[in-house]
Chains A and B, each alone.
Chain A
C-alpha cells in the first residue's frame, strides 16, 4: 500500500457505520476505495448513542455532505437547545444544560464573577438557550452579535435509524460500495485482520478495517478482546407517534432506578429509560431494549483494525457524550487515514487521542454524579462506585473556590458546558475576581437586570419549536421549488 492506493472496509450497518461511510465517502477518489459492509442495520444497541447530537454536528454533518436542510426536509430530526435535567439526585436538582456560546467578559472579568459578587445564585436567566428550552420555543441564532439569541447554540434531536439514513444516502451518492451480507467468519492472524468471509460466499480483504459494528466489535474484538469497565446498563426506548406538545429540549428526569429522557422529534416523542441491568423494571412489550457494559476496549486501534463508536467505547447516553465521541472517533480516523502498510504511527496517535477523549468525556459524565446521591439507589451507588478523578476534583475545587475554569487540552465539553453544569449541580464560587469590585455596583445591577430582561424578552418572543420547524420546512421547500 502507498499513499496512492488505499482500500478501506467499514463494517457496521448502524449509526456508526453509516456516519463513518459518509465521512469517508466525502474523500472517495481513485486512490481511496471505500467498501461498506452494512451488516446489522438499526441495531438496538444504537439506543446507547442517545437522541441528542451536539452543536458541532452541524459542521460534522456538512463535511459528510449531510446538510441541515436535508435533515429538516427528509427526516424526523428536530432542533435542540440542550437537556433539561429534573429531579436529579437527592436534592432534586433542576437545570437546563443548555448549548451556549461563551458568556461575555466585562472589563476583563468573566461574566459569572459578577453574579457571585451580586450574590446571585442563578445563571440560567442569562442563558437565552436555557430560557427558550424551558418554554419549548426555538429560532436559529442570528449572526448579529448584538442580538441576545446569537449566543445560543443548538444541536439535533434524532432517532438513530432515521438520522443514519441521511448519512447512508450521502455515502452511496459519494460512491461508497455497499455490500449487504452478513459476516460468516473473521480471519485474524498476527494481530491483524486478514480477511472477512461473508454469508454469500464472498471474501473481503482490505488495507484497513473500520470496525463500526457496535459494542460486540465483530472485528476488533478478535484482536482486542479485553474491555475496561464492568457496569451494565439497560436502555429501553418507547416511541410515541403523537406529535409532541413541546420541543427544542430533551428532558431528563432522575429516578431511583436511573433516569428517563424524553426527546421530541418532528412528529414523535422518544422516551429512553436507563437503569442498572439487573434492576427490576417492568417490561414493556413495545419497548426496544439494549443492555450494554459501559466502558472502553483496551485499545481502539489494533493491528489494521480501527474501532469507531461503540466498538471502541460505550458511554451512557445521559449527555451528548456518545455522539461527541462518535464524531471525534470519525474525525480522528479521517486525519489519520493510513499512508503506508506500517500503521504504527497512526495507531499510536489514534489511541492516544481516543484515550484522552474518553477520559475527558468521562469527567463530565462523572461530574453529574457529584450531586448528593439518592439514598438506596443501586443506580447511584454504581455510578459513584469509582472515585472521582483528580482532574475532576481540580475542576470542582477551583470552581467552588473562586469560579476559575480548569481546562485540559482539547476537551470534548467546553468551558461553558462545565460552567453551566457546575451551576446546575448547585455549586457557587466562594470568591469572585475582586476586580469586579471596580465597577459601580448600581451599574452592575442595572446591567444584569437589563440582560435578564432582554434575554427573557427574546425567549418570550420566539415561536414554539414545532411551529418554527413547520415554517422552516415550508421555506426550504419553497427554496427547492417544491410544493409546500
Chain B
C-alpha cells in the first residue's frame, strides 16, 4: 500500500452518543486496513441526549454498509419495525393520518395515483387515501412483513425503518467500533489546544491529564458544540422564527397494548407529543415552545396523556432549532446535535447524523483541508437541513387549527419562499415542486398535505383521459388488492418473534400477540 504523507493519520471523535458511535463505526469500517487511527472521547459523567429513537428507512443502508445483521441489531436495541408516523390532531383536532414509507398506489399513465384519488374525491367517491396504501393498511392493523422483491406485488410498495433504544444502539455500535479498532478514551475535555498557525484544533486535554492529538476532529459533543462552537466560534443560524419549539420533556413507559409498527406524533396546544413503541418500553415526550406553555404545565400535559405507567422520572431538554453556520470549519466536522437541531417530528435526527457521516466519507479530507472540500460539504449539508426544515414547518402551517396562541402564531407566519410556492402549487392543482437532493420525496409531501386537509382545488387534467368508470374501477381494484394483501400479512410482534429478533429482556415474549 502506498503511503501518502498528506493522508489523515488520526481522527478523533468527541462524544459518545448516537452520533459519536455512528461516526466511529462508519469511519472504522470504511477506513479499516488503512493507516488511520480512530479514537473516541466520551465521559460517563456526561449524559447523552439519545437523540431520536425513531428512524427513517435510510438507516437500513447505514447498517447494511457495516454488514450488521438485522436480527442481531434488533435484539440488541429492542427494536421494532416502523412503517411510518401517525399524526393526530394536526389538521384539525380529531384528525389522524399516517405518513407512510411508501407511495399511495401505483402511477397510471405515468401520473401518480393520488391525482386519480383527487378526481374520485371530486366525484364524491373517494375512500380515505390511506386505504389505497399497503404500508398504511398493515400499520393500522399492527402487521408487518419485509417488502416483497417482485415489484409487481403490492407488498413491494413500501420501505421500513426501525424504532429502537438509541442508548442501546450507541452501545451496540460501540462494540462494533471497538471491534474494528476504535480506541475509546474515558474523560472530560478540559482544554482544547489550537494550532496558532492555522487555528486548527491540535489536541484535546482531558481531565485525567491525557492529551489526544489528531489530524481531523469530529465534534459529536451535542448541543454545546465543544469544538465547532466553543473552540472555533463558528456561529449558529437560529431558526426559531420558523420552528419555535425549544424544549422537550421525555419519559419512558411500560410497553402495553398491541405493538404498533409506527411512531405517533400528536399535536397539542403548545407543541406535540411523541410515542415510540419499542420492545421493552415505549418512549414518550412532549416537544413544546416555552413562550406558550410553562415547564410545569408541559410536564403535566405529558404525564396526563400517557397510556401506561412510567418507568423513570421525566427528563428535561433545552434546544434552539437551527444549524451551525458551518458544519465543517477548519479541521472540525460537527455531526449530530453539534451540527444543528431540528425537532424530531419526522425522525430526522438520526438521518441527519447519517447524512453528515456519509458526506464526510465521500469528501474525506487530507491534511491540506482544502477549502473547496469544506465548502462542498457545507453546501450539501446546508441543502439537507433547509429541506428538512421546510418539511417540518409544513406540519405546523398546513393546518386549520387556531385554537391556541401557538397555532395562531403559525397562521400569521411569513413562510420561506420555497415553502410558500410549494404550498400554492399544491393547493391550486396538486402539483408538487420536486427536488432531487433532500430526504423527503413527493409521496411524503402528499401524505402530509392531504393528511392535514390541504385538498387541491383541481387535479391534473390528464387524469380525465380515463372515464369515470375506469377511474372508479382502478381505485376499487387497488383498494381490494391492498386490503387482501394486508389481511395476509403477519402480526408485527409475531413476526419479530418468528424472525428471532425479540430481545431477551422483553415483555414481547410474554405478550403472545
Contact = CB atoms under 8 A, between A and B. Distances in A.
B461 A32 contact: yes
Contact of A32 (B110, B370, B458, B464): B464
A352 B424 CA distance: 14
Interface string B485-513: 00000000000000000000000000000
Given A404-B362, A434-B7, A434-B364, A108 B30 contact: yes
A410 B436 contact: yes
A90 interface: no
B34 A435 contact: yes
Interface in B431-459: 431, 433-437, 457-459
A416 B425 CA distance: 32
Given A437-B34, A438-B34, A409 B464 contact: no
B34 A334 contact: no
Contact of A339 (B32, B33, B429): B429
B108 interface: no
Contacts of A337: 460-462
A3 interface: yes
Nearest to B430: A339
A335 interface: yes
Main secondary structure of the interface of B (DSSP, over half): loop
A330 to B, nearest CB: 13
B428 A345 contact: yes
B30 A349 contact: no
Contacts of B431: 335-336, 345, 349
Interface in B229-278: none
Given A31-B461, A401-B373, A435 B433 contact: no
A28 B464 CA distance: 9
Contacts of A349: 421, 425, 431, 433
A398 B373 CA distance: 8
Contacts, number: 99
A348 B464 CA distance: 24
Nearest to B366: A431
Contacts of B460: 335, 337
A298 interface: no
Contacts of A32: 461-462, 464-465
Interface size band for B = 35 or more
Contact of A409 (B2, B436, B465): B436
A408 B33 CA distance: 34
Interface in B366-385: 366, 370, 372-373, 376
Contacts of A339: 428-429, 457-459, 461
Contact of B458 (A3, A334, A404): A3
A4 to B, nearest CB: 8
Contacts of B195: none
Contacts of B457: 339-340
A397 B464 contact: no
A312 B1 CA distance: 55
Contacts of B434: 409-410
Given A349-B425, A434-B7, A438-B34, A404 B436 contact: no
B373 to A, nearest CB: 7
13 contacts: A3-B458, A3-B464, A27-B461, A339-B428, A340-B428, A345-B424, A345-B429, A394-B376, A402-B373, A431-B366, A433-B362, A435-B31, A438-B32
Interface of B: 1-2, 4, 7, 30-34, 65, 110, 362-364, 366, 370, 372-373, 376, 421, 424-425, 428-429, 431, 433-437, 457-462, 464-465
Interface of A: 3-4, 6, 26-32, 63, 108, 334-340, 345-346, 348-349, 352, 394, 397-398, 401-402, 404, 406-410, 431, 433-435, 437-438, 441
Given A4-B464, A6-B461, A339-B458, 15 more contacts: A28-B465, A32-B465, A108-B65, A335-B431, A337-B461, A345-B429, A349-B431, A352-B421, A394-B376, A401-B372, A404-B363, A410-B434, A435-B30, A437-B1, A437-B33
